[in-house]
C-alpha cells in the first residue's frame, strides 16, 4: 500500500469469520455488502455517486464510531463527488471492531436516516480502516503523507485525557506512556504530536486538525493539549505547531442511536445484502466549522457544512440546551423506569420539566444566538427528542456522566449562581445522576464511565440521605470545581433535590422543582 497513490483495497480483508458472525446477528441469508455485491443492492438504496477506485485518502479520522460514520463520513461522501482526494483513513486507537466489520465490506456500510420515510444510503468515503495499536507504522505513514491535509476526530470527551480544569492530564497513564514512547503512542494527543513531528521533519505543512467532539471550545482545548504535550517533548516542535497548525472549533449535531440487532436485520431486508455494522441517525444533521486560513481545506460549504467566525456561541448553545437536556432526561427517565428518549418525552411531567429547564434555566445563560432564534432552537430540539422513528436508549446518553456533567450542566449552574437565578431544576438533574449511579450499583450493573470504579464505591456506600451521600460525590476528582462543591446555595439545592428524589421518586420530585 502506498500512502500517496490511489487508496489500496481495505487492509485486513481476510477477517476471521467469527467476528463476522458476532456482529451479523440473524441476517445471514444475504450476501455480504462489498464493492462486488453493491450493484445487487435494492434499487432504492442511495449509493456513492463517484468512482471509488479513483479516490485518494486525504483525511485521517481518529475514532470511527457510529457518530463519525453517520456524520462526517456522510459529508465526505458528498465531497468525493467533486474532489477525489478526500477519502478517509479511519483509525481506531485500540479496538479492532470497526476495522473487522468494515474491511470485508471494502469500507462500505449503510447509513439510515430515520423519519417516517427512512432513507438508506451506502457510504463509500472510508477507504481504509486501521487499528493504531496493531498497525502503528501504517498510521504514521498516513499522518505523514503529503496527500493527507486533514485530521478529524471523534474520540468522545474522555479520549482527550484532560484533567478537571480542561488541561492535559500528565498523570494519565496513556499520556505518561506516550511521553516515554513518542514513536508508538497510545493516546489521541500522542498520535497527533507524532504526526505533526513527522510532517515537521519532512518539511510538510501541518494538517488541519478538526475536533468534532462535544467539548466546549473543542479546537482550542485540543490545541492546548497538543502544545502542552509537544512542549515536554520538543520545544522547537511546539513552536512550529503554535505558529503553523490550525485547530478550528466545530459544532457537530445529529442524534445517532447505537446500532442494535433489530437495525441489522431491517437493513439486511431493505438492502438485500448483509451489513455487519450499519449506522442510523435522525435526518437532521449539522456541522459548523470555524473559519481558518488553512490552505488545503475542503470546499466545506459545497456540501452543507457552515463556515463561521463565531462557532463558540453555537457550540455552547448546543452543549447546554441539547446535550444538557439530553443528560437530564436520561438520568430522570432511567430512574423513572423509562427506556428511550421518545418514551421519556411522552411522559407529560418529564416533558414539561425539560421544557422549563431549557427555557427558564439554560436559555438565560446563553448570550447568543438571541431571543427568537434561541426559542426556535429549543423548540426544534424538543421536536427532535420526540421523533417516534428513533429508539434512542437513555442508557446510551447516561454513559460517561463524569465527563459530560461538567460540560453540559455544571457551567450552566455556575452561571445561574453568578446571576442569582433559581437552581432547583438544574440541581435535580445532577441529583438524578447521583441516584442513577446508586441504582445501577444496587442492580449489580456496570458503570460505564472512566471513573467507574470510584463511582461504584460511592454508589455502594450511598444511603439515600444527602448529608451522607453528597460529600462523597462532590469530592470525586475532576467533576465538580472546588468553588461549586463548596458553594452553600448549590449544596442546599442539590441536597433538597437528592432527598426529594429519595422520598418521592423522580417524577413526583419534578413537580416540586
The residue (of 149 and 218) whose beta carbon lies closer to ligand CS2 is 218
The residue (of 58 and 324) whose beta carbon lies closer to ligand CS2 is 324
**Shortest Å distance, C-beta 470 to ligand CS2:** 24
CA 214/CA 227 separation, integer angstroms: 20
**Shortest Å distance, C-beta 392 to ligand CS2:** 7
**Shortest Å distance, C-beta 130 to ligand CS2:** 24
Write the DSSP assignment of 406-449 as a string of letters.
IIIIIHHHHHHHHTT---HHHHHHHHHHHHHHHHHHHTT----S
b/e per residue 147-156 (b: at least 16 CB within 10 A): bbbbbbbbbb
**Shortest Å distance, C-beta 384 to ligand CS2:** 9
CA dihedral over 394, 399, 401, 407, signed as positive or negative? negative
The residue (of 140 and 214) whose beta carbon lies closer to ligand CS2 is 214
Element (H, E) at 226: helix 218-233
- Alpha-carbon 50 to chain mean position: 28
Residues that bind ligand CS2 (CB under 6 A): 214, 253-255, 322-323, 326, 396-397, 404
Alpha helical stretches, state H, 6-91: 17-24, 66-70, 72-79
Contact 315, 475 (CB under 8 A): no
Other Cβ atoms less than 10 A from the Cβ of 50: the count is 18
**Shortest Å distance, C-beta 394 to ligand CS2:** 10
CA 153/CA 60 separation, integer angstroms: 9
Instruction: Please give the biggest Cα pair distance in the chain.
Output: 66
CA 319/CA 307 separation, integer angstroms: 19
Residue nearest to ligand CS2 (CB): 326
The residue (of 254 and 439) whose beta carbon lies closer to ligand CS2 is 254
CA 27/CA 4 separation, integer angstroms: 37
The residue (of 63 and 104) whose beta carbon lies closer to ligand CS2 is 63
The residue (of 253 and 496) whose beta carbon lies closer to ligand CS2 is 253
Q: What angle do CA 270, 275, 276 make, to 5 degrees?
A: 140
CA 484/CA 475 separation, integer angstroms: 11
The residue (of 80 and 397) whose beta carbon lies closer to ligand CS2 is 397
**Shortest Å distance, C-beta 354 to ligand CS2:** 13
**Shortest Å distance, C-beta 408 to ligand CS2:** 8
**Shortest Å distance, C-beta 254 to ligand CS2:** 5
* Residue whose entry in the numeric block shows the C-alpha cell 421536536: 383
**Shortest Å distance, C-beta 118 to ligand CS2:** 18
Contact 71, 252 (CB under 8 A): yes
**Shortest Å distance, C-beta 279 to ligand CS2:** 13
The residue (of 282 and 361) whose beta carbon lies closer to ligand CS2 is 282
The residue (of 130 and 397) whose beta carbon lies closer to ligand CS2 is 397
Q: Is 14 buried (19+), middle (13-18) or exposed (0-12) by CB count in 10 A?
A: exposed
The residue (of 223 and 326) whose beta carbon lies closer to ligand CS2 is 326
Amino acid at each position: 500500500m502506498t500512502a500517496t497513490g490511489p487508496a489500496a483495497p481495505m487492509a485486513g480483508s481476510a477477517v476471521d469469520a467469527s467476528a463476522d458472525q458476532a456482529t451479523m446477528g440473524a441476517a445471514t441469508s444475504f450476501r455480504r455488502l462489498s464493492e462486488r455485491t453493491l450493484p445487487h443492492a435494492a434499487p432504492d438504496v442511495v449509493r456513492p455517486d463517484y468512482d471509488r477506485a479513483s479516490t485518494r485518502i486525504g483525511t485521517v479520522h481518529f475514532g470511527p464510531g457510529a457518530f463519525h460514520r453517520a456524520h462526517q463520513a456522510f459529508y465526505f461522501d458528498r465531497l468525493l463527488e467533486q474532489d477525489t482526494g478526500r477519502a478517509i483513513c479511519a483509525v481506531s486507537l485500540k479496538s479492532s471492531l470497526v476495522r473487522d466489520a468494515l474491511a470485508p465490506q471494502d469500507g462500505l456500510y449503510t447509513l439510515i436516516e430515520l423519519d417516517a420515510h427512512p432513507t438508506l444510503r451506502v457510504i463509500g468515503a472510508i477507504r481504509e480502516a486501521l487499528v493504531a495499536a496493531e498497525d502503528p507504522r501504517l498510521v504514521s505513514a498516513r499522518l505523514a503523507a503529503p496527500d493527507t491535509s486533514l485530521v478529524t476526530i471523534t474520540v468522545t470527551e474522555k479520549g482527550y485525557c484532560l484533567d478537571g480544569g480542561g488541561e492535559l492530564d500528565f498523570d494519565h497513564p496513556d499520556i505518561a506512556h506516550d511521553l516515554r514512547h513518542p514513536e508508538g503512542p497510545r493516546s489521541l494527543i500522542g498520535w497527533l504530536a507524532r504526526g505533526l513531528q513527522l510532517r515537521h521533519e519532512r518539511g510538510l505543512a501541518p494538517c488541519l486538525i478538526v475536533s468534532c467532539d462535544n467539548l466546549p471550545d473543542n479546537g482550542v482545548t485540543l490545541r492546548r493539549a497538543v502544545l502542552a504535550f509537544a512542549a515536554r517533548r520538543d520545544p522547537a516542535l511546539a513552536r512550529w505547531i503554535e505558529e503553523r497548525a490550525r485547530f478550528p472549533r466545530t459544532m457537530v449535531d445529529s442524534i445517532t442511536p447505537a446500532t442494535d440487532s433489530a437495525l441489522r436485520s431491517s437493513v439486511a431486508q431493505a438492502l438485500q445484502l448483509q451489513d455487519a455494522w450499519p449506522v442510523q441517525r435522525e435526518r437532521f444533521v449539522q456541522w459548523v466549522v470555524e473559519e481558518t486560513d488553512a490552505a488545503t481545506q475542503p470546499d466545506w460549504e459545497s456540501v452543507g457544512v457552515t463556515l463561521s467566525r463565531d462557532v463558540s456561541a453555537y457550540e455552547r448553545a448546543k452543549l447546554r440546551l441539547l446535550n444538557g437536556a439530553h443528560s437530564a432526561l436520561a438520568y430522570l427517565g432511567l430512574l423513572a423506569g423509562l427506556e428511550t428518549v421518545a418514551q421519556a418525552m411522552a411522559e407529560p411531567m418529564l416533558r414539561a420539566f425539560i421544557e422549563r429547564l431549557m427555557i427558564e434555566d439554560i436559555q438565560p445563560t446563553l448570550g447568543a444566538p438571541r431571543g427568537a432564534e434561541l426559542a426556535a432552537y429549543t423548540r426544534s430540539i424538543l421536536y427532535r427528542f420526540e421523533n417516534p422513528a428513533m429508539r434512542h436508549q437513555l442508557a446510551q446518553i447516561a454513559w460517561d456522566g463524569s465527563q459530560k456533567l461538567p460540560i453540559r450542566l455544571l457551567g450552566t449552574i455556575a452561571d445561574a449562581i453568578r446571576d442569582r437565578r433559581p437552581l432547583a431544576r438544574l440541581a435535580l438533574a445532577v441529583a438524578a445522576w447521583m441516584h442513577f449511579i446508586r441504582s445501577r450499583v444496587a442492580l449489580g450493573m456496570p458503570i460505564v464511565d472512566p471513573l467507574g470504579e470510584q463511582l461504584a464505591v460511592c454508589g455502594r456506600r450511598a444511603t439515600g440521605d444527602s448529608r451522607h451521600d453528597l460529600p462523597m460525590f462532590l469530592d470525586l476528582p475532576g467533576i465538580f470545581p472546588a468553588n461549586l462543591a463548596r458553594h452553600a446555595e448549590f449544596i442546599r439545592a442539590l441536597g433538597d433535590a437528592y432527598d426529594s428524589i429519595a422520598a418521592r421518586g423522580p417524577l413526583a420530585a419534578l413537580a416540586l422543582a
